[in-house]
A and B are shown apart, each in its own frame.
Chain A
Amino acid sequence: MVTLRYSIISCIAGLLLLSSCKESPKLPIFGEREAKTVTRADGTKGVDTVYQTIPAFSFLNQDSTPITNATFKDKIYIADFFFTTCPSICPIMHRNMKAIYDDYKDNPDLMFLSHTIDYKYDKPSVLKKYAEKLGVDGKKWEFAYGPKAEVYKLAETGYLSTVIEDKTAAGGYVHQGYLILVDKDRRIRGAYDGTNDEQVAQLKKDIPVLLAEYKK
């Protein structure tokens, strides 16, 4: 009798353990957050966490058409900062991004956004040529051109990524080589060094995890 009871208890414990494992892993949410009083859908008031989001932006893409946050509505996207004549880290960043782009060519839920930080030279026509040479076509990967103040502020406050114009650096600009993963609610869910193979591999693992969050 005692052994029967034990076996039942251990069975239940086992089931509980198994079911607790079903909770799928989630990526962390980066940036500032604050508690705010919000009005719920049913009209009652309550306190909720408000996360930092990518601020509204409006730039020209490689086809000289405007792109805004609305372009990336209901998409997760990978953003980075680069310039076309970059002699150092950009080629390897875009080599890695291109590999992910090729992997997800047929998945409409993932997009790519590369901001140029060379506001003097990288006009949309230059970006277009660059995109073509990289083998990127269509609307899945946007290359954004904008005024220095807006792009640099967006990098620093929006994407928590540093961009500096520096005449002494090779190519004239200093920037961090992060590939930044943004979810459908415009929140930063990961930042990966685009020049580091291990971190790029982690990004490749994290994309399906983030996509799965929105599957119902």
Chain B
Amino acid sequence: MRNLILCSVICAVFVLMIASCQTADNLERDMYYTNGRDIYIKHCQNCHGAKGEGLAALTPPLTDTVFLKANKQKLACIIKNGLKGEIVVHGKSFNDQMPPNGTMADIDIAQVIVYITNANGNNQGMYTPAQVAADLAACR
């Protein structure tokens, strides 16, 4: 009887261990997310806020999941080159300038994009430096 209990406990532990293992993809995404959060705090948070809430009508929030999904291919260009002109986020118009971050490397941009598109209600998964490089090549 005792052996049976012991055996089932050990079995359960093994099953839990295997279940808790992350896939390689998830692990990479989580690493990008964590590094991206540090970059966000340093370069983005002053204006966009700790929870991506934005600042009144001056800075748009990063909680509009539809906007971020529809404009995902433009994010790298916006981060690197800044933004001018009107955009509509959450149904509100924003028309101030976002300063460029010209010195940011592709991998930094990829990490911050992974953070932005997976935090504050977003859930878009991984984004690679190669995708960022392709996006930047197509900047207008």
As a 0/1 sequence over residues 48 to 85 of chain B, the CB contacts with chain A under 8 angstroms (1 = contact) are: 01000001111100000000000000000000000000
**Inter-chain contact A89/B46, CB cutoff 8 Å:** yes
- Is B38 interfacial (CB 8 A cutoff)? no
How many B residues touch the partner, as a band? 10 to 19
Picked from B46, B56, B99, the residue with its CB within 8 Å of the CB of A92 is B46
- Is A123 interfacial (CB 8 A cutoff)? no
Shortest beta-carbon distance, A184 to chain B, in Å? 29
- Is B96 interfacial (CB 8 A cutoff)? yes
Q: In chain A between 146 and 188, which residues have their CB closer than 8 angstroms to a CB of chain B?
A: 170-171
Q: In chain B between 80 and 98, which residues have their CB closer than 8 angstroms to a CB of chain A?
A: 96-97
Shortest beta-carbon distance, B120 to chain A, in Å? 16
Q: Which residues of B contact A130 (CB under 8 A)?
A: 58
- Is A87 interfacial (CB 8 A cutoff)? yes
Q: Which residues of A contact B59 (CB under 8 A)?
A: 91
Q: Which residues of A contact B55 (CB under 8 A)?
A: 91, 94-95, 134
As a 0/1 sequence over residues 124 to 147 of chain A, the CB contacts with chain B under 8 angstroms (1 = contact) are: 000000101111000000000000
Q: Which residues of A contact B47 (CB under 8 A)?
A: 87, 91
- Is A85 interfacial (CB 8 A cutoff)? yes
**Inter-chain contact B97/A135, CB cutoff 8 Å:** no
Shortest beta-carbon distance, B97 to chain A, in Å? 7
Cα distance, A105 to B45, chains bound together (Å) = 26
Q: Which residues of A contact B97 (CB under 8 A)?
A: 85
Q: Which residues of B contact A88 (CB under 8 A)?
A: 46
Q: Which residues of A contact B46 (CB under 8 A)?
A: 87-89, 91-92, 195
Q: Which residues of B contact A89 (CB under 8 A)?
A: 46
**Inter-chain contact B99/A134, CB cutoff 8 Å:** no
Cα distance, A171 to B45, chains bound together (Å) = 17
- Is A98 interfacial (CB 8 A cutoff)? yes
Most chain A beta carbons < 10 A, residue from B56, B57, B59, B96:
B56
Q: In chain A between 20 and 72, which residues have their CB closer than 8 angstroms to a CB of chain B?
A: none
Most chain A beta carbons < 10 A, residue from B45, B57, B97:
B57
Cα distance, A89 to B56, chains bound together (Å) = 16
Picked from A85, A87, A133, A171, the residue with its CB within 8 Å of the CB of B56 is A133
Most chain A beta carbons < 10 A, residue from B47, B49, B97:
B47
Q: In chain B between 21 and 59, which residues have their CB closer than 8 angstroms to a CB of chain A?
A: 45-47, 49, 55-59
Q: Which residue of A lies closest to B58 (CB)?
A: A133
Q: Pick the 10 closest A-B CB pairs, nearest first.
A: A133-B57, A87-B99, A91-B47, A135-B56, A133-B58, A92-B46, A91-B46, A134-B56, A91-B55, A95-B55
13 inter-chain pairs at a CB distance below 8 angstroms, sorted by A residue, are A85-B97, A87-B46, A91-B47, A91-B58, A91-B59, A92-B46, A130-B58, A133-B57, A133-B58, A134-B55, A135-B57, A170-B99, A171-B99
